[in-house]
Amino acid sequence: MRRRAGGPTATTSGTDAPPLSADRVRRFRRRLLEWGAGHRRDLPWRRTRDPWRILVSEVMLQQTQVERVVPHYERFVATFASPAECAAARPAEVVRLWSGLGYNRRALNLHRAACSVVNDHAGDLPRGDEELRALAGVGPYTARAVRSLAFGEDVAAVDTNAVRVLARCVRGAPLGATAATRLGDRLVPAGLSWEFNQAMFDLGATVCTGTRPDCASCPLRHQCAWRRDGTVEADPWRSSPSARAQSAFAGSDRQGRGRLLDALRGGGVAALALAGACGWPEDRARAERIAAALVAEGFARWSGGADPVLRLR
Ligand code: SF4
């Protein structure tokens, strides 16, 4: 399962959080935490509270599936065990280690963030929301994830999966990211934000999935607003801003750019093969525009004469 870069888009879109009774909050927490304790996925970044490692994992999880992230994460933190080690490397080394994950800009941002941590925070990740968000590539969601998962603050880290659970289960109607975050903050139990957020990630990724929620196995099925209310037919998640943004990714320039970068990592791509590598065999002009942007940004260069080949720099 992927998370959107920087977490869900921050917008209320008129979809505010509903009032919640203390009893409902209690029941939600109890069922979620009990389920989470028995179904937690064993992931390497869950075996640490090191803020740098948490940040690395969160940046990698933006737009990339968990299964793909695991080996990259282990290799990355073995090489750059601290912000200082990352900051001391050349950006190209960081990008090279990122190979296979896509969206190389994330690697460059992580390197810039590491440099800021060394230069402005004596090598330790800051704890404050504002300071975290001042780091390159760290948005509202990622800052909250670090505050909860590394520093144990009582804040909700509401990624796309969590928005989906909250929209369906708690609101029973579309929910914007800002309202979902406020709602999450009301549900987080004091002192247990790590457990709460991990359970939300796991539930959204494995049970309350985007296309086929497994309601029969869901610990929240008896309190789910969408499932309990037979009058609500349309999936609230489908109309939520985060879901619309996610589906907008399919067929987007970003998707084609990611495909082209993946192809370039496997070797050069001939000019005539660009459109196929982007996944749009019929749209050569669009593929050429994506390639030109990669060249302009310094990620790729053309080589060869009559039959030019695009290669990573
Ligand atoms: S009952 Fe179904 S829709 Fe409701 S939270 Fe659980 S999996 Fe999601």
Ligand 1 atom nearest the C-alpha of 203 is 7
Which of 58, 130, 233, 282 does the annotation list as catalytic?
A: 58
Is the pLDDT at 15 greater than 60? The verdict is no
State whether 223 and 299 are in the same domain. no
Picking from 149, 165, 199, the residue at the C-terminal end of a domain is 149
In a domain, 7, yes or no: no
Task: Tell which one of 31, 206, 218, 235 to mutate to probe ligand 1, the residue whose CB is within 8 A of the most ligand atoms.
Answer: 218
Each residue of 99-132: pLDDT tens digit? 888 888 899 999 999 999 999 999 999 999 999 9
179 versus 239: the higher-pLDDT residue is 179
Task: Tell which residue, 267, 275, 277, has the closest CA to residue 303.
Answer: 267
Is the pLDDT at 1 greater than 70? The verdict is no
In a domain, 14, yes or no: no
CATH code (residue 77): 1.10.340.30
As a whole number, the mean pLDDT across the chain is: 87
Each residue of 70-79: pLDDT tens digit? 999 999 999 9
Ligand 1 atom nearest the C-alpha of 207 is 7
> In this prediction, what percent of the chain has a pLDDT beyond 70?
90
What pLDDT does 59 receive?
Answer: 96
Is the pLDDT at 226 greater than 80? The verdict is yes
Q: Which two tokens stand for residue 13?
A: 């879109």
What pLDDT does 295 receive?
Answer: 84
Number of domains in the chain: 3
Bridge partners, residue 287, by sequence: none
State whether 216 and 305 are in the same domain. no
Task: Tell which residue, 110, 114, 96, has the closest CA to residue 61.
Answer: 110
Picking from 98, 126, 149, the residue at the C-terminal end of a domain is 149
Centre of ligand 1 from the C-alpha of residue 136, in Å: 35
> Average pLDDT in the 5-17 region?
44
Each residue of 27-52: pLDDT tens digit? 999 999 999 999 999 999 999 999 99
State whether 170 and 186 are in the same domain. yes
In a domain, 17, yes or no: no
State whether 160 and 241 are in the same domain. yes
State whether 29 and 170 are in the same domain. yes
Q: Which two tokens stand for residue 50?
A: 């090191």
In a domain, 260, yes or no: yes
Each residue of 235-259: pLDDT tens digit? 888 777 777 666 566 677 777 887 8
Give the span between the Cα atoms of 150 and 136, in whole angstroms.
18
Is the pLDDT at 88 greater than 50? The verdict is yes
74 is annotated as an active-site residue: no
SS3 257: helix
What pLDDT does 7 receive?
Answer: 47
In a domain, 214, yes or no: yes
Is the pLDDT at 233 greater than 70? The verdict is no
Centre of ligand 1 from the C-alpha of residue 204, in Å: 9
Centre of ligand 1 from the C-alpha of residue 273, in Å: 44
Is the pLDDT at 85 greater than 90? The verdict is yes
State whether 259 and 228 are in the same domain. no
**Domain limits for position 293:** 253-312
State whether 133 and 276 are in the same domain. no
Task: Tell which one of 39, 166, 200, 208 to mutate to probe ligand 1, the residue whose CB is within 8 A of the most ligand atoms.
Answer: 208
State whether 138 and 197 are in the same domain. no
64 versus 18: the higher-pLDDT residue is 64
pTM of the model: 0.76
State whether 56 and 137 are in the same domain. yes
State whether 64 and 130 are in the same domain. yes
In a domain, 243, yes or no: yes
In short, whether 221's Cβ falls inside 6 Å of ligand 1 is: yes
State whether 35 and 159 are in the same domain. yes
State whether 171 and 219 are in the same domain. yes
CATH code (residue 242): 1.10.1670.10
Picking from 193, 213, 247, the residue at the C-terminal end of a domain is 247
Nearest CA to ligand 1 atom 2: 215
